[in-house]
Amino acid sequence: MASTNETPATFQPLPGRTADRSAVYHASLRALLDLVGAEHPEVDEPDDRLFWRHRARRTIGETVARRAMHPAGARGMPDEWFEPLIRAAVYEPDPSFNRQLVEPAIAAFGRRRVQVALLDYLDTGAPAGAAGAARAWYWTSVGIRYLPGTTTMTPESAAEYEAVSDLRERYPALRRFLADDDLDLRRCILPGLTLDPQMYPSQMRDQVAQAVQIARTSNDDYLRHRVEVQVVPER
């Protein structure tokens, strides 16, 4: 009898951004450190920007999270912190590290406000901002918790999930993927894009097929690889 074992799908890492905006990002972290009243990191190698950014990002995140834990909570958060914090998360060059800014922003200002801001970037922002918003969106998902031994969400988890359900329906990733041929934007959107046509209203299912075709015929190796990992076999 033939084996039914299948080789697990492997993912190519998301390539680096197509344009180097590290100097602008570095400057935004400096401004954000000043805004939240945190000390600028000291590093042994003054020219080591990567290490400096790691320290700065962690310091900012810890400062914001600590303020959010104050008894006053979100009511005591300076509103002027919000936009610079989201902007820094959006323009973080490495998708592994924007979490250090996104999660403190959620703790300080609430999941819904953070998601709305990212949707605005993704919907109408320039390609670089929309690409960063797609990457940051991943860390805004609700962590689902279940009642022991069941597949039923806990009441708290269900309430949290429902509180932002309308925003998931507004997620414009498919439309933006089709409308904008910026390579970095498409690379960042595709991993979070559902490619099962049955998950969309009937009038949008042709758009899913268009997205698959764009990725399959792209000159970019990452898009061609990623779409085959994600595509849902016909049923």
Neighbouring C-beta atoms of residue 27, cutoff 10 Å: 10
Model pTM? Answer: 0.86
Tokens of 124: 């109408």
Q: Which tens digits make up the pLDDT trace of 27-66?
A: 899 999 999 999 998 876 656 878 889 999 999 999 999 8
Compute φ and ψ for 47, nearest 5 degrees: -90, 0
Question: What pLDDT score does 44 carry?
Answer: 62
Q: Which tens digits make up the pLDDT trace of 60-76?
A: 999 999 888 876 655 67
Q: Which tens digits make up the pLDDT trace of 74-105?
A: 567 899 999 999 999 999 988 889 999 999 99
Question: What pLDDT score does 7 carry?
Answer: 44
Per-residue pLDDT band for 19 (boundaries 50, 70, 90) equals: confident
What DSSP letter does each residue of 143-154 carry, written as one string? ---B-TTSSPBP
Q: State the Cα–Cα distance between residues 133 and 87, nearest whole angstrom.
A: 9
Which DSSP state fits 72? T
* Measured CA distances, 116 to 86, 90, 112, 169 (Å): 11, 13, 6, 12
- Cross-strand bridge partners of residue 28: none
Question: What pLDDT score does 95 carry?
Answer: 82
Maximal C-alpha separation, the chain: 67
CB 74 within 8 A of CB 90: no
- The average pLDDT across 106-124 equals 95
Q: Which tens digits make up the pLDDT trace of 165-188?
A: 888 888 899 999 999 999 999 999
Per-residue pLDDT band for 13 (boundaries 50, 70, 90) equals: confident
Q: Helices in the chain by DSSP H: which ranges?
A: 22-36, 49-68, 82-91, 99-109, 111-124, 127-137, 155-163, 165-170, 173-179, 183-189, 205-216, 221-230
CA 169, distance to chain mean position in Å, is 16
Which DSSP state fits 95? T
Q: Is the dihedral of CA 38, 44, 46, 50 positive or negative?
A: negative
- Helices 49-68 and 22-36 pack at an angle, to 10 degrees, of 30
Q: Which tens digits make up the pLDDT trace of 212-232?
A: 999 999 999 999 999 999 987
Q: State the Cα–Cα distance between residues 182 and 97, nearest whole angstrom.
A: 23
CB 114 within 8 A of CB 47: no
User: Domain extents for the chain?
Assistant: 20-143+150-169, 171-234
